[in-house]
Amino acid sequence: MADQTKNVFISHVHEDDAGLGKIKTLLAKNGMTIRDSSINSSNPNNAKSEAYIKSDILAPQINWAGTLVVYVSPATKDSKWVNWEIEYAHKMGKRIVGVWEHGTKDCDLPEALNNYADAVVGWHGNSIIDAINGQGDVWEKPDGGSCDVRPITRHPCG
């Protein structure tokens, strides 16, 4: 596989900052370099105004990225920021990919990810790359196995 570079925003909780380096390393070993515009301890956000953070910090970073990757850990489910980032990315028509934290056995997904993800994949480099590239909208368990069939939401025409 030829080396490829992608612009992504990795939505996560700050307790999971260490996982960002791990996902970048995993992808690099499998031929993908990612440029990550997310806010983390090496790129901190010291603003206090929620409206300012959303409109002037997070929104431009998500707009720059081609894909929103959600780093799914047990703490992610209850993060209002992760849910907002997913909802915003959905409104902007971004591809949304959930990636289970390495070693996670199972945990609940953030509600917005459950509603809007294009794919949710296990900790496997090729699966993550395929999901980012839009080559398969799969839903996997943390171990990479198939999830149960998911009902799809129907919208009326017109």
pLDDT digits (tens, 9 = 90+) for 62-71: 999 999 999 9
Q: What's the rounded mean pLDDT across residues 82-106? A: 94
Q: What interhelical angle do 125-132 and 17-29 show, nearest 10?
A: 90
Whether residue 145 lies inside any domain: the answer is no
Q: What is the pLDDT of residue 149?
A: 56
Q: What is the mean pLDDT of residues 124-139?
A: 91
- pLDDT mean over 127-147: 84
Domain region containing 83:
4-38+47-132
Residue burial 15-30, b: 16+ Cβ < 10 Å; e: rest: ebbebbeebbebbeee
pTM of the model: 0.88
Decide if 55 is inside a domain: yes
Q: What is the pLDDT of residue 154?
A: 42
51 lies in some domain: yes
Residues 6+ apart with CB under 8 A from 76: 12, 13, 16, 70, 82, 107, 109, 110, 113
Both structure tokens of 95 = 């591809």
Domain count, the chain: 1
With respect to residue 139, please indicate whether it lies within any of the assigned structural domains. no
Residue 56: give its domain's CATH number. Answer: 3.40.50.300
158: which residues sit within 8 A by CB, 6+ positions away? none
